[in-house]
């Protein structure tokens, strides 16, 4: 699912009839919970997102308005349900109002807070399910695209791990982890890229639980962008668990440290290799031979691995890929563990936080 903090396409797309259309100054929400639209923040697979001001409290929120079709409504209800289950009080199951009791503003859990939900009837008669979240300034993509101090990168990654530790500890899997779903906020995002002050700090929070699921749900697919898929997702070797998030985290870590360069770029060689084959071959180049149990799950890979297509494989160890970026040595050691092709060997979020890479400088 796309990040909702910014519109990433430079080409204007015609909105669908099911997409909510608003202009600055328009009201959204029922009369007893009305918001005034400030501007559009972006759009995702089944929704649009609007920066809005709550009339009776001057509270600024990000309103995620689901498309008025079956897919949009289901995605919104699934996300609300997941928030309720994730943050419910374990002792009573109590909720506040129409949403789960969210973590307080001072909460150490770095997950974007769902503040309320409501329905909005648009001028064309469409009904949109809306979720009001705390607003954020940008996303981790902002730090991948510009030179960023290693200290800031570590801080963003550390907070992401704390969120994953909480999710995984509850038996949940994010399922769509990429830089656009790690939202950030500062007084001025530009200053964070130039920050050298040891006291400057970016707040990072995990967002978009619309694709999240419980590890016991026997999932084999999630909508995470191709470049962030784990081997077991590409090969479809098993039911998915929290370790797909760990793999995605490793891809994000590499990308942030290397100025936006992705570790794995999905492509194809017409008549030779499919995008999935190319993806797996890149994994082998960086991480070494595919474990036997994974090769066995994907017959054609086993057939081609030692055959003619092996000419496309060349060694690209992580130490070489990271080059001379700051912190390359401990980063390579950590990524070697995080990006283990065998998911049984990947560390947990809690274990990653203890790695020397995250030691205070």
Binding residues for ATP: 64
Distances (CA, A) of 330 to 5, 115, 168, 228, 325: 32, 39, 25, 21, 11
- The token pair that represents 125 in the structure block: 């008669």
Give the separation between CA 122 and CA 128, rounded to whole angstroms. 8
Structure tokens given for 200: 């400057």
Query: Can you read off the two tokens belonging to residue 41?
Result: 């923040």
d(CA 355, CA 234): 28
- 121 vs 54, 72, 106, CA distance in Å? 17, 14, 34
234 neighbors 208 (Cβ within 8 angstroms): no
Give the separation between CA 332 and CA 337, rounded to whole angstroms. Answer: 9
**Residue set of the binding site:** 64
Determine the Cα–Cα distance for residues 12 and 147; give it in Å rounded to an integer: 29
285's enclosing H/E stretch is helix 275-287
The 10 Å Cβ neighbour count of residue 292 is: 10
**What is the DSSP pairing of strand 182-185 with strand 27-28?**
unpaired
The span from the CA of 37 to the CA of 299, in Å, is 53
What is the helix (H) or strand (E) element at residue 84, kind and residue range?
helix 70-87
Instruction: Name the token pair of 150.
Output: 């290693």
User: CB of 243 within 8 A of CB of 219?
Assistant: no
The CB density around residue 153, as the number of other CB atoms within 10 Å, is 21
Cα–Cα distances in Å, from 210 out to 81, 177, 315, 333, 350?
A: 9, 11, 37, 32, 24
To which H or E segment does residue 232 belong?
helix 231-235
């Amino acid at each position: 699912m796309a990040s909702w903090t910014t519109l990433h396409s430079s080409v204007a797309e015609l909105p669908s009839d099911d997409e909510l259309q608003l202009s600055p100054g328009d009201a959204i929400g029922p009369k007893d919970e009305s918001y005034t639209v400030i501007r559009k923040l972006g759009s995702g697979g089944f929704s649009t997102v609007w920066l809005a001001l709550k009339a009776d409290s001057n509270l600024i929120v990000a309103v995620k308005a689901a498309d008025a079709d079956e897919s949009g409504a289901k995605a919104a209800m699934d996300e609300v349900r997941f928030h309720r289950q994730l943050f419910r009080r374990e002792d009573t199951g109590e909720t506040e109002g129409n949403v789960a009791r969210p973590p307080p503003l001072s909460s150490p859990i770095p997950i974007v807070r769902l503040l309320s939900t409501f329905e909005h009837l648009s001028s064309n008669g469409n009904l949109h399910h809306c979720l009001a979240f705390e607003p954020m300034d940008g996303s981790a993509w902002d730090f991948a695209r510009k030179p960023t101090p290693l200290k800031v990168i570590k801080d963003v990654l550390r907070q992401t791990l704390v969120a994953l530790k909480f999710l995984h500890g509850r038996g949940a899997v994010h399922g769509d982890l990429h830089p656009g779903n790690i939202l950030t906020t500062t007084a001025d995002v530009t200053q964070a890229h130039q920050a050298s002050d040891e006291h400057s700090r970016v707040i990072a929070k995990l967002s978009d639980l619309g694709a999240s699921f419980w590890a016991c749900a026997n999932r084999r697919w999630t909508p995470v962008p191709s470049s962030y898929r784990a081997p077991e997702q590409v090969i479809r070797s098993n039911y998915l668990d929290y370790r797909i998030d760990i793999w995605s985290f490793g891809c994000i870590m590499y990308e942030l440290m290397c100025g936006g360069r992705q570790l794995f770029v999905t492509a194809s060689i017409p008549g030779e290799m499919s995008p999935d084959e190319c993806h797996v071959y890149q994994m082998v180049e960086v991480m070494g031979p595919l474990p036997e149990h994974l090769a066995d799950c994907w017959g054609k890979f086993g057939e081609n691995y030692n055959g003619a297509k092996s000419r496309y494989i060349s060694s690209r160890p992580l130490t070489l890929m990271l080059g001379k970026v700051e912190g390359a040595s401990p980063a390579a050691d950590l990524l070697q563990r995080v990006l283990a092709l065998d998911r049984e060997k990947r560390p947990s979020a809690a274990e990653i936080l203890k790695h020397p890479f995250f030691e205070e400088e």
